[in-house]
Structure 1
Amino acid sequence: VSPSDLGFLIADIINDLALLPLQYLWLFGKDSPYVGSRWDGERFALAFPNMEHLRICGYYFTFEDLKFIAMHMPRLGQLSARVQLNAEWPSKDKLSSLMPIPSPSQLYFHLQLEISHIIQGVETVIDTGDRLPEEVERLALGLHILWPKGVINTVLEGLYKASEHHAMGADPHLRKRLPDDLPADEDIQDRARPPGKTLLAFNELSAEPTFHSSSYHCIMVRVFRIPELLSLVCEQARRSDLVRLLTTSRLFFNCAVPVVWRVLPESAPMILMRLLPGADIYLENHLDAALVESMQPLDGQSLTRFNFYAPHIKQVARHQRNRQADVIWDGLLRLVDTRPILPQLKVLKFSLSMSRFITQGPIGYISAHLCPTLVEIDLTRKADADMGPQNLCDLVSTIALQCPRIRSLKLNNIVLFDLPFNTDGMASSLIRLHDLRVLGLGPIALDPKVMIALGALPRLEALIFYDTYYIPKLEGPLKPNNSLPGSFPSLRHFGIKTGFYPERVTRVWHLSALVRGLTSVSVCIASPMTHAELCGFVRVICQCSPLITAFSLDCNGPSRYLRLLVADTIDDLALLPLRYLWLWTKDIEFPYVSSRWDGERFALAFPKMKHLRIRGFYLTFNDIKFIAMHMPQLRQLSVKVQLNGEWPSKDDLSSLVLIPSPSQLYFRLQFASSHIEGIETVIDTGDRLPEAIERIALVLHALWPKGVICEPQRQLDEDGKPSYTSQINTALRALYEASGSNAMGVNPHPRKRVPKWFGWV
């Protein structure tokens, strides 16, 4: 920052610094490309034989300077310097006649050239030809000769490959080894840059400003100095990008590490094992059960890296279908005897199989992961992993004791009740979970004592029943005269996956305290049911839960086809103030089942509908027309369309009187397979839009003039052709542009607005 140029690498200063056992030296002076001629490069290099990290700004090094550094600083692992690429740099022919003493080390080189003369010139040559420009080739050859064991720099990769040398294995993350008290990179670079000199450059041929790479770097340096902004950047960036940028600066590292390590994939045990010494031995023999049995806990020093990263892990999954990962988990738990092994874990997802129960119960299997910070546990099982009711009671009791802050507990499909059991322990454990918001249980939830305990939970918002088999001894709480006054004060969502007889499903809704305040219901019918039973079930739901605004009914499981959209069912659903409706029934090859329903009656029944999804029915043009006309608030539509002769052509459309929708629509559009193949065939045989797609786009534009966008069904096909939905969007965009409308601004990700628990079962 001095107004005058200070030549600080003069002989006296070098001699004074040589008295110190320096290993790290950073010097910054005012930029001047010719100041290097004022110092003795060999004297400087000889003065610091133990140097490991050297950074100098304000001096431009020549080839001779770098030659002396390579010769006299054998331990140098990192060098940051600006290079004066002048006539001293030998050409390829002259280099063979030189005999420099090469360095025995590998080098991480933060290399900079003079911007005004060198970099622009080099970039110009690179842009005009495929071969390496002469200047860059000279530079690379010189560095390769001086550091034959490896220099990290992009232009050198080809040279090391040509020499069949693995020298590019120089550690690209050496900056982690810096002493903690050295200044952060962003502070150093900001001080070293002359104020106002590199932010903005003007193109001589235009009055418009243009940014060089150094400009972006300066801007990012300033952003990276603000922790709040840096944290926002880290939250939005891809994790793979964050991993590559971890060594940018200490501040960036501190902000990025929690994001990178927050959620681990199923390969978590392999990732965690690599934090331990000798990890390769364990991972190479990952299925060796005898090796796992022989493992002993590591000492504290060996766990330094593990203990640093473990607290940042918030979510982990452990599934026994992955035997390799499961065995490595067992070994990891033997090497790291700290419990809980992940002290700040918040979300635990795991599955069980019968083989685990042979040697270890469910509590022993998950106990190492339980900790007070856990707020969500999601347990599923394989079909052969039924545990007894007492094991389930003990598991819930352990969770209640060790995870008092648990908010979501889903114990899915894990109990088959074929023995008598005492539910007092289960009830007393559940009632202690005061923060519980979401609970998923099997048939034990229908026991009177358990039901009373659940009703007393003040914050329980969502209750899900899994595989509730028909068991006579659990009939008590399902009788109409069972009332639980004042219970379930916060319950709003109820989900049920039925594996029992239809009348049992219906009788659940006679528990008025359970269902009277529901606003969201998700039901999956997995057992056979007649059409009359289904209609009766829907009627009971509508009568007993009049506040439902979101309803999901999945009848895809039963072997026979169930017609959902009949007049009686539509009239019953019309009693509800529905805004979200998802209906699934079994797909059949004959796509004309929509002729059995009244499309206009259906559309008129739901004037406040915002999100509609229907499977098992193929809608016609008239059905779509009625939806646009009578559902003015609709924002999302997901249906399969029957593309038949009803769809008007461009000429026919002008003669139709259509009532357009006032809303914008996100359309998840699907066709029958035969229709899709036909459309794609037309696309492949010509460049213009096929007639079928043009008809669809014209109709959608006429019905939703304020905006409609189709969700892409897939990416480009193998031949690079866009999908049919992309073709429709292209046609829609042209229509909106022709009409002078900016209607293509429909939110492309509207599904985030769906209630968070909608569709759970």
Structure 2
Amino acid sequence: MSSRIPYSSIALDIPELVALICESARPVDRARLLRVSKLFFYCTAPFVWEEIRGVTTLLGLIDGVTTKCEKTDFVCSNVVVELDKHLDFSRFDLYAPFVQKLEIFHQRTETLTLSSWEGLVARDRPLLPNLTRLSCREAPANQSHDSIIQWVNTFLTPDLVELRVPNPNGDICAMFTWLAPLLVSNMLQTVSAKCPSLKTLEVAPGTSGRDSPSIEFNIPLAIGLHEHIARFDSLRTLVTSAAALEPGMLVALSQLPKLAVLSVVSSHQHEPIMRLIPLGPNAFPSLERLELRRLSLNAIIGLWYIPGLVSRLSSAVIAQPILDEFTSRNWAGELISHVCIHSPTLQEFYLDPYYYVTQVVFLSHDNLKLLEEQQVSLRSITLCGTLVDRNVGVQDLARAFPNLSTLRLPSWRVTWQDARDLVARLPNLHTLSVGLDTLQSNIPQIGSISANRDRLSLEMSWDSLVEFSSEKLSKLAE
């Protein structure tokens, strides 16, 4: 093969072909492709540099920047970035326009220390002009909060559409200390001014002191935080801490015209003290999906007494609710009923309970009877880790949710015949996920349920020690 590709090569004028080459090549091979020819460089560079993990990769392109690694303990290390007084951005500016997605931190065991910010922030234009997605999910636990915010502010661009700044553990769902509210407030002020097109924001402001054992939500956050969050007119998705449930913050969020998804994460140490607040008739005009993680069951139930927040929802996600010793055995069904009453347009419900062996989640006959009387309009329901009482038949489930197109109850063990009967009773069903009872040796003869029925997707699970012949599997597919 020739070491150089002719400049007039027609093949290299086909973006789809170049994309396929870059996608199938190993990273080390992609780097080599950059050096084949000038044309290959300009065709390949956008794919090679589109997503960067670790800001040191970019800073290494600046003449006058040096990095050194200092071992702090057996696992962690500190990368010190030093800047000379005079920096040459020529090489950096060649690659910078290709970068569209940046994860600032390379890994959670590697902190970043910058000797001086002046050389980076003094430029009169964005460092990465075409950056659209910025994240620091991999921030180490011992990375200082103010430095995290500073790194974020350094790479903000007018075209940014996604910004993810979780807690210093990198995972907003982890057990962590929240980011200081004042720092978040200052960051949001900067972001709202520099990123008018932002659509997705993930940030976890705290509500009290760093190690406070309890949070009193009747003490408002800094007013500036409310004011800044209300400026994001283009925001469509917000992932944040339980600070969003503080009255002033909730009112501010209710004014965002395009907010469609609100995801709130709490923790055992940061349980909000709920206080019902009236929201106007125009609150949350575009909110379609509400996600709640690690809130107490009482707090979750309380939120559904705020009509302005939940009345127009089409999707609800509840994961790892915190239960107590007084929680009813049938709480899952009661929660579904409560949610559907106050969210009459709800189409999708997802529940992933967090429980110990002594807190098994059941769906009872009484639960399903109540839901049948309510005439719920759910079209998709997913109940992870939820068992169904033995006296519940497929007919009870079908009557409770007659409009289902998607049913995922992976902990519910059914026979082949039960599965057939359930499908027959739910004419709109196209996705079914249940557990298969492998004790039944024979598969009943299954005829065509409906000549005009769309294809059904089955997501069945069974004991891995049981082997099924192709004949049995083909019968299920009939």
Q: Does 1:579 align with 2:379?
A: yes
| Displacement after TM superposition at 1:663 (Å) | 2.4
Name the amino acid aligned to 2:298: E
Q: How does 1:18-167 map to 2 (within 5 A)?
A: 110=2
Are the structure 2 counterparts of residues 282 and 503 from structure 1 closer, same or farther at C-alpha, using a change threshold of 3 Å? closer
Distance in 2 separating the partners of 1:556 and 1:620 = 27
Distance in 2 separating the partners of 1:369 and 1:557 = 41
Q: Does structure 2 conserve the Cα–Cα contact (< 8 Å) formed by 1:548 and 1:578?
A: yes
Residue in 2 that maps onto 1:41: none
Distance in 2 separating the partners of 1:231 and 1:291 = 38
Residue in 1 that maps onto 2:284: 488
Distance in 2 separating the partners of 1:291 and 1:577 = 54
RCO higher in 1 or 2 (8 Å CA, sep ≥ 6)? Answer: 2
Q: Does structure 1 conserve the Cα–Cα contact (< 8 Å) formed by 2:376 and 2:400?
A: no
Q: Does 1:296 align with 2:73?
A: no
Q: Does structure 2 conserve the Cα–Cα contact (< 8 Å) formed by 1:353 and 1:385?
A: no
Are the structure 2 counterparts of residues 539 and 185 from structure 1 closer, same or farther at C-alpha, using a change threshold of 3 Å? same
| Displacement after TM superposition at 1:485 (Å) | 1.4
Secondary structure of 2:226's match? helix
| Displacement after TM superposition at 1:657 (Å) | 6.0
Q: Does 1:185 align with 2:6?
A: yes
Q: How does 1:89-488 map to 2 (within 5 A)?
A: 110=2, 185-187=6-8, 221-226=9-14, 233=20, 240=27, 243=31, 245-246=33-34, 250-265=38-53, 268-269=54-55, 271-272=57-58, 275=61, 282=67, 285=69, 287=71, 295-297=82-84, 299-301=86-88, 303-319=89-105, 322-324=108-110, 326-327=111-112, 330=114, 340-351=126-137, 352=139, 355-357=142-144, 360=146, 362-381=148-167, 382=169, 383-412=175-204, 415=207, 418=215, 420-467=219-266, 469-472=270-273, 475-477=275-277, 482-488=278-284
Per-residue Cα deviation, 1:436-463 (whole angstroms, up to 9, x for no partner): 1011233332233322222221111111
Per-residue Cα deviation, 1:213-267 (whole angstroms, up to 9, x for no partner): xxxxxxxx5443355x5577579766747555445664553343222222224xx
Distance in 1 separating the partners of 2:230 and 2:436 = 49
Secondary structure of 2:143's match? helix
Return 5+ residue gaps in structure 1 as ranges: 1-108, 111-171, 176-183, 188-220, 588-592, 680-691, 703-761
Q: Does 1:518 align with 2:313?
A: yes
Q: Does structure 2 conserve the Cα–Cα contact (< 8 Å) formed by 1:538 and 1:569?
A: no
Secondary structure of 2:51's match? coil
Residue in 2 that maps onto 1:42: none
TM-score by length of 2: 0.80
Are the structure 2 counterparts of residues 225 and 564 from structure 1 closer, same or farther at C-alpha, using a change threshold of 3 Å? same
Distance in 2 separating the partners of 1:516 and 1:443 = 20
Q: How does 1:666-685 map to 2 (within 5 A)?
A: 666-671=457-462, 675-679=463-467
Structure with more of its chain in helix, by fraction: 1
Q: Which has the higher mean CA deviation after the structures are superposed, 370-379 or 519-528?
A: 370-379
| Displacement after TM superposition at 1:429 (Å) | 0.7
Alignment coverage as a number of residue pairs: 450
Return 5+ residue gaps in structure 2 as ranges: 170-174, 209-213
Residue in 2 that maps onto 1:541: 339
Are the structure 2 counterparts of residues 693 and 330 from structure 1 closer, same or farther at C-alpha, using a change threshold of 3 Å? farther
Are the structure 2 counterparts of residues 412 and 389 from structure 1 closer, same or farther at C-alpha, using a change threshold of 3 Å? closer
Are the structure 2 counterparts of residues 594 and 537 from structure 1 closer, same or farther at C-alpha, using a change threshold of 3 Å? closer
Secondary structure of 1:551's match? strand
Distance in 2 separating the partners of 1:676 and 1:606 = 31
Per-residue Cα deviation, 1:492-535 (whole angstroms, up to 9, x for no partner): 111111423x3321121121121111111111133114334433
Residue in 2 that maps onto 1:598: 393
Q: Does structure 1 conserve the Cα–Cα contact (< 8 Å) formed by 2:330 and 2:363?
A: no
Q: Which has the higher mean CA deviation after the structures are superposed, 546-555 or 370-379?
A: 370-379
Distance in 1 separating the partners of 2:82 and 2:396 = 69
Distance in 2 separating the partners of 1:484 and 1:252 = 58
Residue in 1 that maps onto 2:211: none
Q: Percent identity?
A: 21
Name the amino acid aligned to 1:379: V
Secondary structure of 1:435's match? coil
Per-residue Cα deviation, 1:612-646 (whole angstroms, up to 9, x for no partner): 3223222322331123323344333333222112x
Secondary structure of 2:438's match? coil
Q: Does structure 1 conserve the Cα–Cα contact (< 8 Å) formed by 2:67 and 2:81?
A: no
Q: Does structure 2 conserve the Cα–Cα contact (< 8 Å) formed by 1:263 and 1:314?
A: yes
Distance in 1 separating the partners of 2:340 and 2:427 = 23
Q: Which has the higher mean CA deviation after the structures are superposed, 516-525 or 440-449?
A: 440-449
Q: Does structure 1 conserve the Cα–Cα contact (< 8 Å) formed by 2:179 and 2:205?
A: no
Are the structure 2 counterparts of residues 357 and 570 from structure 1 closer, same or farther at C-alpha, using a change threshold of 3 Å? farther
Q: Does structure 1 conserve the Cα–Cα contact (< 8 Å) formed by 2:362 and 2:386?
A: no
Residue in 1 that maps onto 2:300: 505
Distance in 2 separating the partners of 1:332 and 1:699 = 69
| Displacement after TM superposition at 1:307 (Å) | 2.0
| Displacement after TM superposition at 1:385 (Å) | 2.7
Are the structure 2 counterparts of residues 485 and 558 from structure 1 closer, same or farther at C-alpha, using a change threshold of 3 Å? farther
Distance in 2 separating the partners of 1:379 and 1:371 = 15
| Displacement after TM superposition at 1:467 (Å) | 0.7
Are the structure 2 counterparts of residues 299 and 425 from structure 1 closer, same or farther at C-alpha, using a change threshold of 3 Å? same
Q: Which has the higher mean CA deviation after the structures are superposed, 240-249 or 504-513?
A: 240-249
| Displacement after TM superposition at 1:428 (Å) | 1.1
Q: Does structure 2 conserve the Cα–Cα contact (< 8 Å) formed by 1:415 and 1:442?
A: no
- Aligned counterpart in structure 2 of residue 551 of structure 1, from 333, 344, 349: 349
Q: Does structure 2 conserve the Cα–Cα contact (< 8 Å) formed by 1:353 and 1:384?
A: no
Residue in 2 that maps onto 1:139: none
Name the amino acid aligned to 2:6: D
Name the amino acid aligned to 1:444: A
Distance in 2 separating the partners of 1:299 and 1:392 = 32
Q: Does structure 1 conserve the Cα–Cα contact (< 8 Å) formed by 2:379 and 2:403?
A: yes
Are the structure 2 counterparts of residues 356 and 677 from structure 1 closer, same or farther at C-alpha, using a change threshold of 3 Å? same
Name the amino acid aligned to 2:433: S
Q: Does structure 2 conserve the Cα–Cα contact (< 8 Å) formed by 1:389 and 1:421?
A: no
| Displacement after TM superposition at 1:547 (Å) | 1.2
Distance in 1 separating the partners of 2:457 and 2:77 = 56
Q: Does 1:659 align with 2:449?
A: yes
Q: Does structure 2 conserve the Cα–Cα contact (< 8 Å) formed by 1:413 and 1:466?
A: no
Secondary structure of 2:153's match? helix
Q: Does structure 2 conserve the Cα–Cα contact (< 8 Å) formed by 1:603 and 1:630?
A: yes
Q: Does 1:568 align with 2:367?
A: yes
- Aligned counterpart in structure 1 of residue 406 of structure 2, from 599, 607, 611: 611
- Find the structure with the greater CA-based Rg: 1
Residue in 2 that maps onto 1:531: 329
Secondary structure of 1:355's match? coil
